Amino acid sequence: MGTPSFSRTITVERSSSMAAVYGWMAVGLALTALVSTTVVGSPELFRALFGNRALFFGMILAEFGLVFAISGFAIRMGAAVAAPLFLLYSALNGVTISGIFLVYTGQSIASAFISTAGTFAVMSVYGLTTKKDLSSLGSFCFMGLVGIVIASVVNIFLHSPLVQFVVSGIGLIVFIGLTAYDTQKLKGASGGAAVAGALALYLDFVNMFLFILQLFGGRRD
């Protein structure tokens, strides 16, 4: 008689921990959207941030540093420290990607967001419910991610639209797979681990969104 009750307790705890992960992720995405629209809505602020190359690249480096810190030390930090760092990262990312509003139409951005949200939801539910171990999928996607980074660096010099299209297509597939893998890996995460998990899913969502936008987005004239 005690086993079913114990099982229900574990299920409730897992549901609560995933709710915390998704909650932090949603707050991060909302903050990114708010900062992006604020920056692009103010020409003076936009010019100040993007006109200073040292400041812009400083923000990029700060983002990498925050991702490294949160991913590697969130459990040791605890949620009280990791959460503000995650929110700071989300805000900085809102600044650095705000330029998409000047490149793509509002309709394209909205469509890409809806497509991303739907795809993310399906893959995340799959990661939560599947009995299959997705570790091999995670390893495959990680190798694909390394390939994307290398190809992107090479294309800085080639400026090839074809290479960019291929990279975007592979990138979309990689982050779709990572969404399922990361979700499965996060079952039972709490405290600082929940914040690190929110960052992982946030990155999956944002990268998926950007790749969909690059592949299918309509550019402004």
- Residue 9 falls inside a structural domain: yes
Query: For residue 166, which phi and psi values (nearest 5 degrees)?
Result: -65, -45
- Residue 221 falls inside a structural domain: no
- How many folded domains does the chain comprise? 1
Each residue's pLDDT, cut to its tens digit, for the chain (221 residues) gives 445 543 444 444 566 789 999 999 999 999 999 999 999 999 999 999 999 999 999 999 999 999 999 999 998 999 999 999 999 999 999 999 999 999 999 999 999 999 999 999 999 999 999 999 999 999 999 999 999 999 999 998 999 999 999 999 999 999 999 999 999 999 877 889 999 999 999 999 999 999 999 999 999 97
Query: For residue 22, which phi and psi values (nearest 5 degrees)?
Result: -65, -35
For tokens 């291929």, the residue is: 166
Nearest alpha-carbon partner for 83 in 188, 181, 190: 190
- Residue 171 falls inside a structural domain: yes
For tokens 């419910």, the residue is: 129
- Residue 195 falls inside a structural domain: yes
For tokens 């897992």, the residue is: 14
**Helix ranges, 78-129 (H):** 79-96, 100-103, 106-129
- Residue 37 falls inside a structural domain: yes
- Residue 168 falls inside a structural domain: yes
Q: Tell me how far apart the alpha carbons of residues 46 and 66 are, in angstroms, rounded to a whole number.
A: 23
Q: Tell me how far apart the alpha carbons of residues 140 and 208 are, in angstroms, rounded to a whole number.
A: 17
- Residue 56 falls inside a structural domain: yes
Which residues form the domain of 63?
A: 2-216
Exposed e or buried b per residue across 202-221, where buried means at least 16 C-beta atoms within 10 angstroms of its C-beta? bbbbbbbbbbbbbeebeeee
